[in-house]
Amino acid sequence: MTGKSCLVTGAGGFLGQRIIRLLMKEDLQEIRALDKVFKPELREEFSKFQSNVKLTVLEGDILDEKCLQRACQGMSAVIHTACVIDVTGHVSREVLMNVNLKGTQRLLEACIQANVPIFIHTSTVEVAGPNSYNEIVQNGHEEENRETVWTCPYPYSKKLAEKAVLMANGWALENGSTLSTCALRPMYIYGEGSQFLYSFIDHALKNNGILTHNSKFSLTNPVYVDNVAWAHVLALRALMDPIKAPNVRGQFYYISDDTPHQSYDELNYQVGKKWGFVLDSRRSLPLFLQYWLAFLLEIMSLLLQPIYRFVPPFSRHLVTLLNSVFIFPYEKAKRDLGYKPLFSWEESKEKTTAWVGSLVEQHKKSLQTKSQ
């Protein structure tokens, strides 16, 4: 990658900042980090990087065409991680479709105009499903071409965005060369800074250390965030390699690691048990009752829509997502990208557990401050 440059969108996010850290170790000429806003502490961290690579921090909107054109100018590649993630229905459909789909389309157009030859898209396993909690997928692979049937804005917008990226492979650039694209579909991503994990831990801290037990029927293969970031770097290397690139162009890859197959609840427990967290032992509603109750809540939301925006506490999509057997190994990524996880399960668990411990300490200090 000597002399090359790369733009990373969503660079201030959970995954994006990890990609930046890994790219700083590569032999690039320049990295541009683009996000709508950067936290001051992250800006400071980026400014202190000791590297020969020039790092330029840009603040701008993924829907701002002029911003995207400036950000792409002179770049050799784009890694597009920027998106809005929402599986609860609290973010409006318009926002999700605009950022996740329209933002991706505008970024592709900016790449064409600025002659950026490589585009790597961060997709999600949710573009493949699960479509039913009764369906069991234990050794899924790319050749099955699974596709979500849900029209919920998050999986739907990400499905359309990924299709747009893969269909753009081979497009002619302004200078006559062609665009090479690929998409990575990570499994559920965990690690330090995960907003999903934070919400579960925060809820448990306010509930005597009892973790919500709402996905005990699930079986999945979660993936550590730094391993997902590493897969992006390897995808970039592959698309810049004239020997590997032909096998990677226009392809998508499931990204997982060697984290044991487990439920989402079990993962939360594994990284929290050192600090005294326990799983809720109360019995829950049978799965089919949860599903149909969610259906009734959705009908209620639809009926109230003209006068009031009612967001159901859970949906059929969420019930299915949290209670399915949906497992995808990383064999294709291993074959085409040379992907091998940087961190083992034990290392990933240790790092995440330490972060959970810091949340516990913050909570204790907060309680002490309030009591004074």
The pLDDT score that the predictor gives to residue 1 is 75
Give a yes or no: residue 353 inside a domain: no
Give 247's pLDDT tier (boundaries 50, 70, 90). Answer: very high
Domain annotation covers residue 88: yes
Structure tokens at 313: 């506490």
Portion of the chain with pLDDT greater than 90, in percent: 89
- The confidence score (pLDDT) of residue 168 equals 98
Write down the pLDDT at residue 50. 76
Q: Tell me how far CA of residue 257 lies from CA of 29, 190, 228, in angstroms.
A: 30, 11, 9
Q: Classify residue 74 as left (phi > 0), alpha (psi -120 to 50) or beta.
A: left
Average pLDDT, the chain: 95
Query: What percentage of the chain exceeds 70 in pLDDT?
Result: 100
- Domain containing residue 49: 5-194+222-258+327-343
Domains of the chain: total? 1
pLDDT reported for residue 292: 95
CB 316 within 8 A of CB 291: yes
Confidence bin at 371 (pLDDT 50/70/90): confident
Lowest mean pLDDT among 42-51, 85-94, 107-116, 265-274: 42-51
**Listed range (97-111, 145-159, 203-217, 222-236) with the worst mean pLDDT:** 203-217
Tell me 313's DSSP state.
Answer: S
Summarised one tens digit per residue, pLDDT across range 274-283 is 999 999 888 8
Stretch 59-74: mean pLDDT: 96
The CATH number that applies at residue 241 is 3.40.50.720
- Give the single-character DSSP code of 102: I
Structural domain includes residue 69: yes
Q: How does pLDDT run across 9-38, given as a tens digit for each residue?
A: 999 999 999 999 999 999 999 999 999 999
Backbone angles phi, psi at 67, to 5 degrees: -60, -45
- Name 196's Cβ contacts closer than 8 Å, sequence gap at least 6: 188, 190
Position 315 scores a pLDDT of 94
User: Does 243 reside within a domain?
Assistant: yes
Q: Give domain status of residue 89, yes or no.
A: yes
Tens digits of residue pLDDT in 298-341: 999 999 989 998 999 999 999 999 999 999 999 999 999 999 99
Q: What is the mean pLDDT of residues 158-172?
A: 98
For residue 3, what pLDDT is reported? 86
Of 133, 154, 330, 339, the active-site residue reads 154
C-alpha 231/C-alpha 341 separation (Å) is 8
pLDDT, average across residues 229-237: 98
Is 154 in the active site?
yes
Q: Which of 45-49, 136-140, 183-187, 231-235 has the lowest mean pLDDT?
A: 45-49
**What gap in Å lies between CA 257 and CA 230, rounded to an integer?**
11
164-189 mean pLDDT: 97
Please report the pLDDT score of residue 372 as a whole number.
67
Structure tokens at 36: 């709508």
Residue 65 domain flag? yes
